[in-house]
C-alpha cells in the first residue's frame, strides 16, 4: 500500500506529467536502450521512430498518476498492455530495469524540480504499479501455456500456404511444425511473429491479427506490405514476409493474445467497420459470428483505396450470398475507372456521417472498428454523434494505443 504522503506527491505531479510526459518518455527510451541494448530485440523500432510508443507510455504513466488513489480504475488498461507484454515476452525481471531508467528520465527532464521527495514518491508508486502488471501478466502467461494446445514463449510454425489477397496484402496460413494441436482464440485476437532478418542486428517482433475464425487447424494472418512514406520508413518485417518468406518456411509465433474480442452473447445487430488492413480482425469476427448465430444481423463496412487494394472481397461477398442477415458495404477513396465500370463500390470518397446514417438501421447495436488512427477517430466521432452508446464502441489500435477524443 502506498503511504498517504506518497499519494499526495504523485497527485501533485499530475499537471507536470500532462505537460512534460512525452519529453520524459522520449528520454526514458533513449536511456533504456543505451543502457540495455538487448531490449531492442523486443521493442518495435518503427513505433519508436514515429513517437507512438513514447506517447502511449506517457498516457499510461499519466493515467496511473491520475488514478493513484484508485489503481483498480486502470486495470482495463493494464490488461490491454499486459496482453502485448505477454505476446512479446516481457518478464518480471524487466520491470526494475524500466523503473530505474524511468526515474532517471524524470530527473533528467525536470532537473531541480524533481526533488528527492518527488523521486522517492515515484519510486514507491512505480513499485506498486509494477506489481499490478507483474501479477496480471503472470496469470496471462499461465493461461497461454496451460490451455489446450498452448505453449510458452515462441513456437515454430510452418507456412502451409501463402496467398496474395491484393496489391498490398498477403495471407499466410501457419501450422505447427511439431504437428501438435494449437490454442484456440477469441475472434479479434492477434499473435506475435518473431523474426531474425539477415543483415539486421536485432530480432524483430510484430503483432498481427488472426484473420480467420477459431477452430481451424491453422492460424491465418494477413499482412499489409508497408512501402514507406515521407514520414514513415518502409516496414522491415512486412516487406521481409512479403518478399522472402515462402511456403515451407518457418516462423516463430506467440500464443494468441489481445482483449479486443467479439462478444458473441450479444444478440443485437453487429456492425463491423474497417479501414485498409484493419479488416483482418473484422473478418475473423464476421466469420465467427455467422457461424455461431446465422440469425444475428451483421453489417460489414469496409473502406479502402480501390479494387486493387481491396483484400478478401470475394470471400466476404460469397459469405453474404449465403447469409441473408449479412449486408456488406464498400467505400473506395480513390476508385479506378474499372471499379466504376464494374460498380465495385457503394460510396466514393471517405466514409462520412451522412452515408453512415443511410447504411445503419439502428444505433442500438454492437460496433467494432479498426483501421488507421485517422479513420478510427472519424468513425468514433460519427457514431457518437449518431447517438451510439460509448459502451457499445469497441476498437483496436495496430501498435501503441492513441486517443480518439
85 labeled binding residue: yes
Is 371 annotated in a binding site? The answer is no
Give the contacts of 128 (CB within 8 A, at least 6 positions apart). Answer: 1, 2, 71
Q: Where are the alpha helices (DSSP H) in 175-331?
A: 236-243, 279-292, 313-322
- 397 annotated as ligand-binding: yes
**Residue 156 is assigned to a ligand binding site:** no
Residue 173 to residues 4, 142, 250, 317, 337, Cα–Cα distance (Å): 54, 26, 11, 21, 33
According to the annotation, is 279 in a ligand binding site?
Answer: yes
How many CB atoms neighbour CB 180 within 10 A? Answer: 10
Separation between Cα atoms, residue 351 and residue 92, nearest integer Å: 44
H-helix or E-strand containing 252? strand 250-253
Q: Give the whole-angstrom CA distance, residue 108 versus residue 111.
A: 5
240 known ligand binder: no
Which residue among 29, 62, 95, 375 is the active-site one? Answer: 95
Q: Does the active-site annotation cover 226?
A: no
258 is in an annotated binding site: no
- Is 277 marked within a binding site? yes
Active site residue 29: no
| Residue 324 annotated as lining a ligand binding site | no
Residue 370 near residue 274 (C-beta atoms within 8 A): yes
Q: Is 242 annotated as a binding residue?
A: no
Q: What cell does 403 get?
A: 486517443
Torsions phi, psi for 348 (to 5 deg): -100, 140
**Which candidate in 29, 137, 141, 226 is catalytic?**
137
Q: Is residue 219 annotated as involved in ligand binding?
A: no
To the question of whether residue 53 is assigned a binding role by annotation, the answer is no
* CB count in 10 Å sphere of residue 128: 14
The answer to the question of whether 207 is labelled as a binding residue is yes
Known binding residues for NADP(+): 276-281
Known binding residues: 85, 190, 206-209, 276-281, 397-400
Q: Which residues have a catalytic role annotated? A: 95, 137
Known binding residues for heme b: 85
Known binding residues for FAD: 190, 206-209, 397-400
Amino acid at each position: 500500500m502506498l503511504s498517504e504522503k506518497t499519494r499526495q506527491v504523485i497527485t501533485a505531479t499530475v499537471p507536470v506529467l500532462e505537460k512534460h510526459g512525452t519529453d520524459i518518455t522520449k528520454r526514458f527510451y533513449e536511456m533504456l536502450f543505451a543502457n540495455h541494448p538487448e531490449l531492442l530485440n523486443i521493442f518495435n523500432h518503427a513505433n519508436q521512430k514515429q513517437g507512438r510508443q513514447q506517447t502511449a507510455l506517457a498516457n499510461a504513466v499519466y493515467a496511473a498518476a491520475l488514478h493513484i488513489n484508485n489503481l483498480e480504475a486502470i486495470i482495463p488498461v493494464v490488461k490491454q498492455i499486459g496482453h502485448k507484454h505477454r505476446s512479446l515476452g516481457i518478464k518480471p525481471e524487466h520491470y526494475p530495469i524500466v523503473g530505474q531508467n524511468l526515474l532517471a528520465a524524470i530527473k533528467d527532464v525536470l532537473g531541480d524540480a524533481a526533488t528527492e521527495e518527488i523521486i522517492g514518491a515515484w519510486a514507491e508508486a512505480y513499485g506498486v504499479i509494477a506489481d499490478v502488471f507483474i501479477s496480471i501478466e503472470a496469470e496471462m502467461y499461465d493461461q497461454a501455456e496451460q490451455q489446450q494446445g498452448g505453449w510458452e514463449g515462441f513456437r515454430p510454425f510452418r507456412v502451409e500456404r501463402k496467398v496474395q489477397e491484393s496489391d498490398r496484402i498477403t495471407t499466410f496460413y501457419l501450422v505447427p511444425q511439431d504437428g501438435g494441436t494449437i490454442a484456440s482464440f477469441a475472434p479479434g485476437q492477434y499473435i506475435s511473429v518473431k523474426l531474425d532478418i539477415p543483415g539486421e542486428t536485432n530480432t524483430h517482433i510484430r503483432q498481427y491479427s488472426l484473420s480467420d475464425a477459431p477452430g481451424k487447424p491453422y492460424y491465418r494472418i494477413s499482412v499489409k506490405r508497408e512501402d514507406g512514406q515521407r514520414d514513415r520508413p518502409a516496414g522491415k518485417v512486412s516487406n521481409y514476409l512479403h518478399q522472402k518468406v515462402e511456403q515451407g518456411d518457418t516462423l516463430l509465433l506467440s500464443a494468441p493474445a489481445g482483449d479486443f474480442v467479439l462478444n458473441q452473447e450479444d444478440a443485437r445487430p453487429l456492425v463491423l467497420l474497417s479501414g485498409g488492413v484493419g479488416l483482418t480482425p473484422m473478418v475473423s469476427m464476421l466469420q465467427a459470428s455467422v457461424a455461431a448465430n446465422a440469425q444475428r444481423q451483421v453489417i460489414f463496412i469496409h473502406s479502402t483505396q480501390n479494387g486493387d487494394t481491396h483484400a478478401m472481397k470475394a470471400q466476404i461477398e460469397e459469405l453474404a450470398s449465403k447469409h441473408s442477415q449479412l449486408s456488406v458495404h464498400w467505400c473506395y477513396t480513390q476508385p479506378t475507372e474499372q471499379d466504376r465500370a464494374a460498380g465495385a463500390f457503394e460510396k466514393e470518397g471517405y466514409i462520412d456521417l451522412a452515408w453512415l446514417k443511410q447504411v445503419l438501421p439502428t444505433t442500438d447495436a454492437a460496433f467494432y472498428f479498426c483501421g488507421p488512427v485517422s479513420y478510427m477517430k472519424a468513425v468514433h466521432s460519427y457514431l457518437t454523434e449518431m447517438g451510439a452508446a460509448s459502451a457499445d464502441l469497441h476498437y483496436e489500435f495496430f501498435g501503441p494505443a492513441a486517443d480518439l477524443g
